[in-house]
Structure 1
Amino acid sequence: MVRADLSITVPSFFRCPISLDVMKSPVSLCTGVTYDRSSIQKWLDNGNNTCPATMQVLQSKDFVPNHTLQRLIQIWSDSVKTLSDSSSSDAPLSLSKEQAQALVKEIEKDDFANRFDSLSKIICFASQSEENRKFLARLDGFLSLTVDILCNAGAELRVLEQVVWVLELILIDFEENEKMSSVLLSRDFLSSILIVFQQGSLNSKIGSARVLELIAVDADSKLTIASNDAVLSELVNSLTSNSDSNLNGAVLSCIISVTLPKRTRSKITKLGVVKGLTQILADPNSTVTIIEKSLKLLEMVSTCAEGRREICENPLCIPAVAQKLLKVSTASTEHAVVILWRVCHVFRDQRAQEAVTKSNGLTKILLLMQSNCSCQVRQMSRDLLKIFRVNSKCCLSFYDTKATHIMPF
């Protein structure tokens, strides 16, 4: 019998190399080393130009959010809290592979009501290392057991949430996601995911979106997920009703992953995705990553007639896109230019052209051409300027910069 007082020590890679505390917002430097954002920012603000762990001189002081590690820490922390709440032991032991295997056998025997604590221990074990996650993935019968629990209508919500977290952890490093995708989608998996997304905690909603993204590995799986109107509607609606950046990021990645077919782009447009994306872009608190994903999805939507119509009819959308042309990131600039180029140049929408000029977009396009942008972005900018040149009297009335040396005409 597995001891009931099992808990988990803090994995070393969850700790910031500077503060030695569990990281709250892990970010990676160009050297590949990950730190807590506040710690590394303080290090750089003090005038240092090296990586604290390796002492390499930094070629760039930019850092990239490590979303996978942040998610692992979040799941691990929640599971440890669950174990602490349900255990009175003050002398915890680490969970070994043998103990994890024994726990799985117990889960197979237990009824649904008694599985919660065992699954919490399994989650802690899986979140500790890639090796542990691969061990569980290869463990005979484990994945089929999780699918059976998730697809069982009698399972209570908190058990469904635990299984979603287990699947997310396993799928992060699973080498056969296509095989797992076919198993899940052949069962009543999406109905359970929908229940978790509608009724579960914030963490389990994020996990549900991540699982959907991870199993959307081919055209068939993308189409199957996108064909479920209830699931797709919940994902899109969450963009307008939610302000949590982690959930928005997971939902955006999920929708992007299943929106490859053109019919799906029309469907999410009708569900109101343009309104949600506009709301995110207009939010001054949106992170760079969220802005990039929002513009990428908006660019995808702009390839269908319904999407372009919604973009042009929404009075806030084009100004929000134009606002992101500069000073966000290279990816954001490229997505924003493509959107404006498509609606203003390719399809010559008069409403879009007027919205660009009124939001001082011409100035940004002119400045963009002076920057170190890609050849493709520069060409699209030229195409846009040709459109504005046709309406030069209208456009120039909104052009208020005194930098006349960059005027193209």
Structure 2
Amino acid sequence: MSMIFSWRRRRAGRGRAGKDEFPDMELSIPTHFRCPISLDLMKDPVTMCTGITYDRGSIEKWINAGNNTCPVTNQVLRSFDQIPNHAIRKMIQDWCVENKSYGIERIPTPRIPITPCDVSEICSRIEAAAQRQDAKKCLDLLKKMKNLAKESERNKRCIVQNGAGCALAACFELFASFSIEEYTDFLKEILSALTWTFPLGDKGKSKLGSAISLRCIALFLKGDDLSSRKHAVLVLKELISEDQDFVNSLMEIEGIVEALFQIVKVPICPTATKASLVVLYRMTLSENSEMITLKFVDMGLIPCILEILVDGDKSICEKALGILDSISSRDQGREGMYENALTMPLLIKKILRVSDMATRFVVSILWKLCMGENENAVVEAMQLGAFEKLLVVLQVGCGERTKSKVTELLKLMNLYKDELDCFASSARFKFLKRPN
């Protein structure tokens, strides 16, 4: 069996305007040139231990999905080694050249994928050069690592999984301790690479989470270089996601909260905004949550978060609601939310409109605002249709904690329901003319 492709061949016509068309020409791709998985022409043929040849990208996807058998023979793969099949690749390239007239382009000779040993060697050389304070050599090796990562996702995974993050974190701390001013550009290069080399491992986390490293990252976060600010907040987000303890160290740095808030207030890009929201949220869960909540209220974070909720995407809304849920646990946070006219309308609007997580956050926030003996909050929520929406939440199903809060809210609102219904009825008849 062979796969058929059709190309329309054209050539310029003489003595006529335009071009003459020739009938469709059919071209068969030899079966042994096609990957047994994708059925496409192989670009990087590799042979497995079972003797079957596949396109590298296809067999890697198969293995990464958790399969440990050969797709063709169904034999258990004793080894996942992929041996480049140079003979088949050369035959495919020759076939492409022979059929160039059909519009087929010659497949390029694939680069040999990087190995764990290659990554370990580069990391060792980076660490050795860092100890010698040889920034130029470190930068050359860093660029080599980045170029290898760009070649393929496989290379990138191999680099991440074999200690690159740890080596770069150690290098970052070392040069930051030498002189941030002297090595600013080099430190920014390391920071950009660190954004995709997580997880770092315990040693890497300790290096990047040290006081020296955090001060350097904070300096970039507060700077004017938008690219460096983005990389700084992405690295901070990954760092505190691995260990909440770094949040306390981060909060001790002067101006860090303001710098994170500025990224939310004046966005650089959606990715940076989301990362900044995550870091701010983690701060609300710290030991100094009461102090940080008061600081957030004073700097105007609540209006900023509410503005984000107006047209934010799913991910941004979830993170923004998470922050509001956390700060509404404090008196200062609730007061700040009571004072903003957008609070209730936006919260009610987001129920069942974004995601299950967002609905859980909204229910939690409403519970804190309404159960705090604030009648105005209860009445406003009901006037905006909260009662009906909360009933729907129960009907579609939710977690036990959310269900408990919804039930309490409905019981509370039910106390005001008759009074509001009477008020609404009297308002409807208020403008009716009396009969003569």
Are the aligned partners of 1:161 and 1:204 in contact in 2 as well (CA < 8 Å)? yes
Secondary structure class of the residue paired with 2:397: coil
Provide the residue aligned with 2:403 in structure 1: 378
Alpha-carbon distance in structure 1 between the residues aligned to 2:130 and 2:210: 23
1:295-333 deviation digits (Å, cap 9, x = unpaired): 112111111111111111111122211111112111111
Provide the residue aligned with 1:133 in structure 2: 160
Provide the residue aligned with 1:121 in structure 2: 144
Cα 1:168–1:294 shift into 2, 3 Å: same
Decide which of 208, 230, 248 is 2:255's aligned counterpart. 230
Within the alignment, does 1:297 sit opposite 2:360 as a pair? no
Identity of aligned residues (%): 20
The aligned runs of 1:304-383 (5 Å cut-off) are 304-345=330-371, 347-383=372-408
Q: Which has the higher contact order (CA 8 A, sep 6+)?
A: 1
Alpha-carbon distance in structure 1 between the residues aligned to 2:305 and 2:260: 12
Alpha-carbon distance in structure 2 between the residues aligned to 1:219 and 1:329: 25
Alpha-carbon distance in structure 1 between the residues aligned to 2:182 and 2:112: 29
Alpha-carbon distance in structure 2 between the residues aligned to 1:93 and 1:252: 40
TM-score, structure 2 as length reference: 0.61
**Which structure 2 segments of 5+ residues have no match?**
1-39, 43-63, 66-70, 72-109, 426-436
1:389-409 deviation digits (Å, cap 9, x = unpaired): 222245447999xxxxxxxxx
Cα 1:351–1:225 shift into 2, 3 Å: farther
**Which structure 1 segments of 5+ residues have no match?**
1-17, 21-31, 34-53, 55-90, 401-409
Alpha-carbon distance in structure 2 between the residues aligned to 1:174 and 1:398: 61
Are the aligned partners of 1:240 and 1:275 in contact in 2 as well (CA < 8 Å)? no
Shifted more, 101-110 versus 183-192: the winner is 101-110
Provide the residue aligned with 2:309 in structure 1: 281
Provide the residue aligned with 1:65 in structure 2: none
Alpha-carbon distance in structure 2 between the residues aligned to 1:93 and 1:150: 35
Alpha-carbon distance in structure 2 between the residues aligned to 1:273 and 1:150: 32
Give the greater-gyration-radius structure (CA): 2
Cα 1:360–1:158 shift into 2, 3 Å: farther
Provide the residue aligned with 1:197 in structure 2: 221
Provide the residue aligned with 2:230 in structure 1: 206
1:354-382 deviation digits (Å, cap 9, x = unpaired): 43234332332232232222333233222
Are the aligned partners of 1:360 and 1:399 in contact in 2 as well (CA < 8 Å)? no
Alpha-carbon distance in structure 2 between the residues aligned to 1:136 and 1:335: 37
Are the aligned partners of 1:180 and 1:215 in contact in 2 as well (CA < 8 Å)? no
1:146-198 deviation digits (Å, cap 9, x = unpaired): 2122443224544332121233333x12231xx44444444333332123223
Provide the residue aligned with 1:245 in structure 2: 270
Residue identity matched to 1:382: T
Q: CA RMSD in A?
A: 3.7
Number of equivalenced pairs:
310
Alpha-carbon distance in structure 1 between the residues aligned to 2:245 and 2:148: 32
Q: How far is the alpha carbon of 1:260 from its aligned partner?
A: 1.5
Within the alignment, does 1:187 sit opposite 2:214 as a pair? no
Cα 1:119–1:395 shift into 2, 3 Å: farther
Are the aligned partners of 2:338 and 2:377 in contact in 1 as well (CA < 8 Å)? yes
Are the aligned partners of 2:176 and 2:183 in contact in 1 as well (CA < 8 Å)? no
Are the aligned partners of 1:237 and 1:272 in contact in 2 as well (CA < 8 Å)? no
Cα 1:129–1:254 shift into 2, 3 Å: same
Are the aligned partners of 2:351 and 2:389 in contact in 1 as well (CA < 8 Å)? yes
TM-score, structure 1 as length reference: 0.64
Residue identity matched to 1:173: P
Are the aligned partners of 2:234 and 2:275 in contact in 1 as well (CA < 8 Å)? yes
Decide which of 246, 253, 256 is 2:281's aligned counterpart. 256
